[in-house]
Chain A
Amino acid sequence: MDRIFEILGELRKAGREVFRVESPVPQPYASVDPGHLRVELAAGAAAHLVVLHTEEGTSALDIDLSEGAQLELTELFLGGTFCETAVRQGARSRCRMTTVLLAGANVVYRIELEGADAENNLGGAFLLGGREHGVVKLHTSHRVSDCRSDSTVKGVAGGEAVGEFSGLVYVARDAQRTDARQQSRNVLLSETARIETMPQLEIYADDVKCSHGATVGQMDSDAILYMRQRGLSESQARRLQIEGFVGDIVRRCGVEPLGEALLELAAEKLEKL
């Protein structure tokens, strides 16, 4: 945890209320418990933004990407924040989002692809234990033609935790040649944990490529046996397996060395699940 604050402390502050980026050279910025924050990327601008949520209260991010803008957004939830993030993307903009819940937060993403050839990529993970209740809602709208969206949200719940995922991909009538993918993959670590997943597609265009899928399963006990036969303890084997499951999401954050620090923090949480 201290390591995360240390890394964020070295980044530029994203400022309060309105954070505007004009530079085409991406610089990393950080924001801790931003409350209501508006993020504007001018045409062709680029930035990395890391947002840390630690509080119980509410938070709202209002993100606007003009033509050709590129944003790498990482959000980490360490408290039960209720957060709504709206992303509007103009033509040829790119937004790559990573969201990691290490607490029972309630997180809503509304992604609006409003300009042709916009691309959104979202990787989410929630790790819940004890009596935590975490929610990830995703609403991706393809308003115009030739946009791409790809979302993968992975959930792990142990103890008596409850996880919820709902994802809707909406494709408007004129949004031809849309390419939209959505995956929800979940693992339960105990008999008493629960995960609900609701992937949905709503398609009004006829020339589209859309796919979605959802799974809820248990950890593979054969893999645990296999690792123990090589000398790992049962808890090491479990931890390695869950790390393997969520590691690609947690590690993908574009600001070095934040990815590894996040994974370390996630691993500490996993020990307790």
Chain B
Amino acid sequence: MENNMLSVKNLHATVEGKEILRGIDLEVKAGEVHAIMGPNGSGKSTLASVLAGNEKYTVTEGTVEFLGRDLLSMSIEDRARLGLFLGFQYPVEIPGVTMANFMKLAVNEQRKYRGEEPLTAAEFLRLMKEKSAVVELSSKLTSRAVNEGFSGGEKKKNEIFQMAMLDPKLAILDETDSGLDIDALRIVATGVTKLHTPQNATVVITHYQRLLDYIVPDVVHVLYKGRIIYTGDKTLALKLEKEGYDWLINEYDK
């Protein structure tokens, strides 16, 4: 169990009194790529938000261990500093705050948490340049305000750029493929694949098989009504693409 990165046990969570997660069990090991699929409203984005620490949700039952720590007792920022990254489905615009300024603070906060010296201006610029190449993000965008006036594709590329800058242990990508045209999808997915190492792990939340043509998962889960009702290998995604969720849902609802 040495390389167990994330261990979710019987996780229940509510929002405004309504139970959305109803007993999630999930184990992610270093080096693995997991895909979480499922129909709309099944709780996929909620799971991502709860793991990231969004205070809108209340955890009512269950435990989450991340790198041996009790994740649920930690603040959002400490989870991030420990190495958890959430790629947002809807990246937020922050007027007047440049990408460079934002990333410099974020990178150095995370370094401080790990007991490392802050990057010098030259080191930081080099890092920005190197990592923006991962997703072919124009250097013009990194000098602009965070996500302001970015196209849908640029926003998603920008998420992966930030992931590259922060080098997380576990990246949870919440529908990073939604709203992308085929070229942007390829760039984003190729970027994610480039960043994958035996030491880190990725959880990809998606509706569509097409993303998984680029990011090949080791494990595919189907989330339905707040539970993981089925787990398989990468062939499951293909089967779901062809046959839909009905065969699983009907079995579960019986």
Q: Which of A222, A229, A240, A248 contacts B80 (CB 8 A)?
A: A229
Chain B contacts of A241 at CB under 8 A? 94, 97
Residues in B whose Cβ lies below 8 Å from that of A220: 92, 94
Which of B105-113, B219-227, B235-243 forms part of the interface with chain A? B105-113
A230 contacts which of B75, B95, B106 (Cβ < 8 Å)?
A: B106
Contacts of B107 in A (CB 8 A): 231
Bound-complex Cα distance A248 to B76 (A): 29
Bound-complex Cα distance A89 to B113 (A): 55
Q: When the two chains form their complex, are residues B80 and A231 in contact, meaning their CB atoms are under 8 A apart?
A: yes
0 or 1 for each of B61-103: is its CB under 8 Å from A? (1 = yes): 0000000000000011100110001101001111111000111
Is A236 engaged at the interface, CB distance under 8 Å to the other chain? yes
For A242, the closest partner residue in chain B by CB is B96
Q: A223, B105: Cβ atoms under 8 Å?
A: no
By a CB distance below 8 angstroms, the chain B residues around A222 are 92
In the docked arrangement, what's the CA distance between A38 and B159, Å?
Answer: 54
Inter-chain CA distance A225–B91, complex, in Å, is 11
A232-B106, A233-B109, A240-B102 known; A227-B94 Cβ under 8 A: yes
Q: Is B162 a contact partner of A230 (Cβ separation < 8 A)?
A: yes
Q: Return the chain A residue nearest B83 by Cβ.
A: A231
- Contact partner of B96 (CB less than 8 A), chosen from A225, A230, A233, A245, is A245
B77 in contact with A232 (CB, 8 Å): yes
Interface size (B, Cβ < 8 Å)?
30
* A223 neighbours in B (Cβ, 8 Å): 92-94
Which A residue sits closest to B92, measured CB to CB? Answer: A226
Given contacts A231-B106, A240-B101, A244-B145, whether A226 and B88 have CB atoms under 8 Å apart is yes
CB distance from B111 to the nearest CB of A (A): 9
Contact call B102/A227, Cβ cutoff below 8 A: yes
Asked if B52 CB lies within 8 Å of chain A CBs, one says yes
Is there a chain B Cβ closer than 8 Å to A234's Cβ?
yes
CB neighbours (8 Å) of B95 from chain A are: 244-245
B54 contacts which of A225, A231, A236, A243 (Cβ < 8 Å)? A225
- How far, in angstroms, from A195 to B81 measured CA to CA in the complex? 37
Q: A40: shortest Cβ distance to chain B, in Å?
A: 36
CB <8 Å contact, A230 and B92: no
User: Is B50 in the interface zone, CB < 8 Å from A?
Assistant: no
Task: Check A233 against B77 for contact (C-beta < 8 Å).
Answer: yes
Do B106 and A244 touch (CB < 8 A)?
no
Provide the A227-261 mask, 1 if CB < 8 A to any CB of B, else 0: 11111111010001101111110000000000000
CB pair B77–A234 under 8 Å, yes or no, is yes
B5 at the binding interface (Cβ < 8 Å): no
Q: A226-B88, A227-B102, A244-B145 are in contact. Are A232 and B109 (CB under 8 A)?
A: yes
B96 touches A244 (CB 8 A): yes
B97 touches A228 (CB 8 A): no
- Distance in angstroms from B126 CB to nearest chain A CB is 20
Determine how close the nearest CB of chain B comes to the CB of A232; give it in whole angstroms: 6
A248 touches B96 (CB 8 A): yes
Q: Is the CB of A229 within 8 A of B76?
A: yes
A225 to B75, CA, bound (A): 11
Say which residue of A229, A231, A240 sits within 8 Å of B97 (CB atoms). A240
Contacts of B101 in A (CB 8 A): 240
Residue of B nearest to A240 (CB): B97
Provided the pairs A231-B166, A234-B77, A244-B145 are in contact, do residues A226 and B105 lie with their beta carbons within 8 angstroms?
A: no
Nearest A-chain residue to B96, judged by Cβ: A244
Contact partner of B102 (CB less than 8 A), chosen from A225, A230, A233, is A230
Contact A236 B92 (CB under 8 A): no
CB-nearest residue of chain A relative to B56?
Answer: A225
Contact residues, B43-62 vs A (CB, 8 A): 52-54
Known: A220-B92, A241-B94, A244-B95. A229 touches B52 (CB 8 A): yes
Q: How far is the CB of A204 from the nearest CB of chain B, in Å?
A: 36
Q: Which B residues have a C-beta under 8 Å from some C-beta of A?
A: 52-54, 75-77, 80-81, 85-86, 88, 91-97, 101-103, 105-107, 109-110, 113, 145, 162, 166
A-B contacts, 11 of them at CB < 8 A, read A225-B54, A227-B106, A230-B80, A230-B106, A230-B162, A231-B110, A232-B105, A233-B109, A243-B97, A245-B96, A248-B96
Given A227-B102, A227-B106, A230-B106, list of 15 further CB < 8 A pairs?
A222-B92, A226-B94, A229-B52, A229-B53, A229-B86, A230-B80, A230-B162, A230-B166, A240-B101, A240-B105, A243-B97, A244-B94, A244-B96, A244-B97, A248-B96
